[in-house]
Amino acid sequence: MPIPLNEVVLGSLLASCILHGKLQLGKHLLQELIQIDPCNTDYHVLQSNMYTLAGRHDNADFLCQVLQKWGIKKVPGISSIHVNAQVHQFTLRDKSHPQTQEIYSMLDVMIQQLRFAGYVPNTASQAFSVSENQINDADEQEEKEHVLFSHSEKLAISFGLISTKPK
């Protein structure tokens, strides 16, 4: 490569490994990334997703346990939107905004339109740690989809749609 390997390049390669199912290469890249920034949980989340996609749920669970043991916590993603000279921020499943009810109503409309257009959420990489006896497959799938649909960026878009006029 004409540029030295750095955190951005290695992180991009790790994400590509997930996309193409290259678990061994991904593990190697993760080790290099951990040496650069041992507290960056984004890389651990990507590795956990790789394990889950490969059907290696035990490895994904073990990785989560190691992070807990080290005291490393995933920093929640935050999405921001600037509306009427004010910045509004959202996190996953955020219900702290004064217009939460309207935001989630718009989110429901967005989800219905996406499904009508043929969109099917990809829940394959989501780990879901609930005992098999406590939840059935249909409920688990629905919960995974709910988590995907309530990401911060979707909440910010929903807020933008209810707070701005079409041009």
Using H for helix, E for strand and C for coil, what is the string for 51-103? HHHCCCHHHHHHHHHHHHHHCCCCCCCCEEEEECCEEEEECCCCCCCCCHHHH
34-49 tens-digit pLDDT:
888 877 777 787 778 7
**Distance from C-alpha of 61 to C-alpha of 47, rounded to nearest angstrom:** 11
**Cα 148 from chain centre:** 7
Closest by Cα among 164, 145, 163 to 102: 163
What is the pLDDT at residue 39? Answer: 75
76-109 tens-digit pLDDT:
789 999 999 999 999 988 899 999 999 999 999 9
Average pLDDT for the chain: 82
Q: Please enumerate in sequence order all residues whose Cβ is within 8 A of that of 111, keeping only pairs 6 or more positions apart, or say none.
A: 149
- Amino acid identity, position 74: K
**Distance from C-alpha of 11 to C-alpha of 26, rounded to nearest angstrom:** 10
DSSP secondary structure code for residue 134 in this structure: T
